[in-house]
Amino acid sequence: MNTNLPANPETERLAKNIAEATGRPLPVVVREAMAAKAEADGIGAEGHPRRKKLNFAKLNAILERAARRPVLDPRTPDEILGYNA
């Protein structure tokens, strides 16, 4: 991995502004910002994409919407597949 990244004045200015405003050391500000970005992008500490946690509220909302859909074919699954014919 290339650790000799070219300087970016805008990035340095933003990091220094945050460090000064919060009273935290510059390396801590940069590390926290990178950790927050990795978390937001779903990247784990090892640099690999992390599995997203299940959001049960969203999953339940999807299931409830599916349950409200009209029944288009009232036959049972066995009738549709032709079992016990």
Express each pLDDT in 7-54 by its tens digit.
Answer: 889 989 999 999 999 999 999 999 999 989 888 887 876 666 666 677
Res 65: pLDDT: 96
Locus of tokens 């992008």: 41
Res 52: pLDDT: 66
Domain assignments of the chain as residue spans, ordered by start = 9-81
Backbone angle region of 78, left / alpha / beta, with phi > 0 → left and psi within -120 to 50 → alpha:
alpha
Q: What is the DSSP string of 29-45?
A: HHHHHHHHHHHHTTB-T
Locus of tokens 């409200």: 68
Q: Which of 8, 6, 26 is nearest to 17 (CA)?
A: 26
Q: Which of 1-5, 18-22, 69-73 has the lowest mean pLDDT?
A: 1-5
Residue 85 has pLDDT above 70, yes or no: no
Q: What type of residue sits at position 6?
A: P
